[in-house]
Amino acid sequence: MKLAVKGQTENLLSNTEKFKLRWEQSKPRDTDIQDATQEKLDKSLSLIKEKAEELKTLEEEMEKLKKDHDQLGLPEPDLTPFRELENDIKKSLEMWSIYEEFHNELGQLRNEDWIVFRSKMYRLDDLLKNWESKLENEGVNSPLGNRILQEIQSHKDVLPILKFARGDAFSDRHWVEMLSLLDIPQKSVESLTVGDFLAVKEKIVASQEQLQELNGRAASEIAVRQALSELDAWEVTARFTLAAHNDAGGAELSVIKEFGEVSIVQAQGDLFSLRKVATCSACLLESHFPPKDYVKCKVYNRRLHFLHKHKFAVVLFCSISNGLLTSSLVCVIKDSLHRFANFTMVGGCAVVFW
């Protein structure tokens, strides 16, 4: 019986030595951590966890042999090589557990849908600040700790620029353009995740100017589409009547005139809609519209060109009484605007906005 136990002990110590040599050969080196890829770091973590499980099996066999030695009155075997191996693996596991915890928390954000996360980007900022404080408070000073700090900084660098990838004002065409710019595989907006963007964070930082330009273009196109919609509605609902009017010099003018009690808000809306014609024309030269919007803008641009060519201006005369506005919209030649310079109405005013 004693011979059998001695044989088992020699065999276990031999296995321990082989285990130690394999561990020394394969364990992650501190010098390789700083520049290692994410995939390599994940493999290193998996290796350490695997070796820790093997160590548990070896430890159970060691404890069994110790009991056998005690029962048979044999001297306790020299477990120094095993204890050195055990301490080394446990130390590595403890250090890499911090890395695993950091990436688990970051991974939860990575898996979230982009359309949900984009309005809550402060959560990424909070996570980075919490981990920065945690590493500082716990005094983690190791190559792996420095690697985590390096990743925290790279995420902090991209965070202010991520707002340009929100896509709140994007059409499908803008999404396709942005994904192509950032080298993200083309997919539906609904299937995009936070991880898709964090995986190309260096590309996002390098493409800041292009993203800003794309956002500005998308916002302009939305403004134009809204302007076109308002103009369409205004064109259908606006009604004017012709009337004779004498200017300050007594000369008679034919004016487009709308009398009646209308709310100030409605009158302001009419003016705002007219101004949108100019907005459409300016944006037409700076943006790339879908065919339908392009044609509409071109029509209004042609009308504006006609007014400009014939030097027309639009004047609003208004009179306020009891919170209600009586208004006159007048289309006149710009060169004759001086004829209205001294125009006066009792309790009223003249507004020239063109």
| Residue-wise pLDDT tens digits, 192-247 | 999 999 999 999 999 999 999 999 888 877 777 777 677 677 667 766 665 666 65
Kindly state whether residues 222 and 348 are assigned to the same domain. Answer: yes
pLDDT at 284: 45
Cβ atoms of 65 and 82 closer than 8 Å: no
Cβ neighbourhood burial of 203 (10 Å; 0-12, 13-18, 19+): middle
What is the pLDDT averaged over residues 297-309? Answer: 62
Which residues make Cβ contacts (< 8 Å) with residue 89, sequence separation at least 6?
Answer: 23, 48, 51, 52, 55
Task: State which residues form the domain around 302.
Answer: 216-352
Kindly state whether residues 230 and 344 are assigned to the same domain. Answer: yes
- Reduced to 3 states (helix: H, G, I; strand: E, B; else coil), residue 166 is coil
| Domain-located, residue 58 | yes
**Final residue belonging to a domain, choices 83, 110, 137:** 110
- pLDDT band of 267, cuts 50, 70, 90: very low
**Final residue belonging to a domain, choices 56, 78, 110:** 110
What is this structure's pTM?
Answer: 0.64
Kindly state whether residues 225 and 345 are assigned to the same domain. Answer: yes
| Domain-located, residue 38 | yes
For residues 103 and 253, which has the higher predicted lDDT (pLDDT)? Answer: 103
What's the structural domain count of the chain? 2
pLDDT at 336: 47
**Final residue belonging to a domain, choices 92, 110, 128:** 110
| Domain-located, residue 183 | no
Cβ atoms of 106 and 197 closer than 8 Å: no
What is the pLDDT averaged over residues 290-314? Answer: 58
Distance CA 297, CA 256 (A): 25
